[in-house]
Amino acid sequence: MIFPSYDGSSIVNLMQSIAVAKRADLGLYDELEGLDGLQLSAFSNIVLLVIDGLGYKFIKQFPDSCIYSHLKQRMTTVAPPTTAAAVTSFLTGLAPQQHALTGWFTHLRELGVVTTVLPYMARVGGPQMGAWGRAIEKVIDLPSFFDQLPCSSFSITPSWLETSVFNRMLTGAATMLPYDGLAAYFNTIEAAVKSNLSDKYIYAYWPGFDAIAHEYGIASRQAKQHFEVLDQSFATLLDQLAGTDTVLMLSSDHGFIDSPKERQIQMAKHPDLKDCLMMPLCGEPRLSYCYVRHDCRQFFEKYVTTELRHAVDLCPSRWLVEQGLFGLGEAHQELLPRVGDYTLVLKDNYVITDSLIGDAEFKMSGFHGGLSADEMYVPLVYAECR
């Protein structure tokens, strides 16, 4: 198991370096080793491209790429290495220890429901829960990273995220710039840098690589082709930003592994184990939280450590919190309730899935959320546009 390096080599440390460069201090985590705020403060414009799913090990396969040629160092993401946790860290500067968003499926005991937390919907579907009068600010009360910076800021996000209550809450005072398509993504970054405002921080999120890796797999022809297009666009952007006094950084929220069907464990095929749970598995298919009936705990532990020992490491969730998996310092009051009694840490390229009545057939090739090197290590790509 690879734990995040919150003491100086994770994405939360990068966010502290950016904050310090823009005359702010989040006060929780040290600056990133190898790139402190003083170095970044020499530039008027700081731009952070977050390419969802683009792991460090994937980039290492392409030594002739422009992105590789500007690869500065390896970082860890947060745990679990998944968008719900890591993008929240980019948007708040906090680790999951403090923001307590611990996976795509999150049990919000405040509402008594398992949610898909980023869309802010109940897991069974329906509208955003704000439509039911469950205001996100009252349930997930988190600070915006943008609001802590005494400078102009922009959040460049897909247009379909424009109506997301989660995204709007954490965009804060930043100017939201929606776009449609990859060409528009890079054009919007260029336009934001070249706007009349000086002293800017620009956050730019691209989800397309992640979608392709989920559907076709990280080793697929489609993923490699998309990276090639990203790389060409990145090289063009560097040329377009020449002379703008900009530092351009590129990173990610997580990497990927591929899991063939024979490595995908379905809870429906383990009914005795499923009967031990008070609610469906939460978290991620590679790091799953189990809420276990008290009278079933002994059976649950024995079943997992015998029948699933080839695929799963069983850990008490409290132990993982105490070992610093989710971050350093004082924990959010809802962190422990959101990681259940036990955590299933999937080995190798195994995944485990749980379904509800009426769910569509589960079809994915690529996965993330586990504690492997492929998933945990993310790049820091760095380029100066003087």
- Please say whether the beta carbons of 327 and 80 come within 8 A: no
Q: How far apart are CA 123 and CA 121, in angstroms?
A: 6
First to last CA, the chain: 41
Q: How far apart are CA 240 and CA 49, in angstroms?
A: 15
- Residue 15's pLDDT band (cuts 50, 70, 90): very high
- Please say whether the beta carbons of 85 and 101 come within 8 A: yes
Q: How far apart are CA 10 and CA 74, in angstroms?
A: 9
- How buried is residue 179: exposed, middle or buried, by Cβ count under 10 Å (0-12/13-18/19+)? buried
Q: How far apart are CA 382 and CA 62, in angstroms?
A: 16
- Please say whether the beta carbons of 83 and 90 come within 8 A: no
Poorest-pLDDT segment among 24-28, 232-236, 295-299, 375-379: 24-28
- Average pLDDT over all residues of the chain: 96
Domain with CATH 3.30.1360.180 in the chain: 261-367
Residue 162 structure tokens: 């424009």
Residue 272 structure tokens: 């005795």
The number of CA neighbours under 13 Å toward the Cβ of 59 is 28
CATH code assigned to 11-258+372-385? 3.40.720.10
Q: How far apart are CA 266 and CA 268, in angstroms?
A: 5
Alpha-carbon distances of 204 from 51, 181, 251, 258, rounded to whole Å:
8, 13, 10, 26
CATH ID of 261-367, from 3.40.630.30, 3.30.1360.180, 1.10.150.120, 1.25.40.10: 3.30.1360.180
Give tens-digit pLDDT for 353-371.
Answer: 998 888 888 789 999 999 9
Give tens-digit pLDDT for 54-93.
Answer: 999 999 999 999 999 999 999 999 999 999 999 999 999 9
Give tens-digit pLDDT for 104-121.
Answer: 999 999 999 999 999 999
CB-based burial, 208-234: b 16+ in 10 Å, e otherwise: bbbebbbebbbebeebeebbeebbebb
- Please say whether the beta carbons of 192 and 156 come within 8 A: yes
Q: How far apart are CA 314 and CA 312, in angstroms?
A: 6
Q: Concatenate the DSSP letters of all residues of 124-158 into one string.
A: T--S-GGGGT--HHHHS----TGGG-SSEEEEEEE
Which of 91, 39, 99 lies closest to 203, judged by CA? Answer: 91
Domain with CATH 3.40.720.10 in the chain: 11-258+372-385
Is the pLDDT confidence value at 310 over 80?
yes
* pLDDT score for 229: 98
Specify the 3-state DSSP secondary structure of 99: helix
State the pTM of this model: 0.96
* pLDDT score for 38: 96
Alpha-carbon distances of 295 from 193, 209, 276, 278, 300, rounded to whole Å:
59, 44, 8, 11, 10
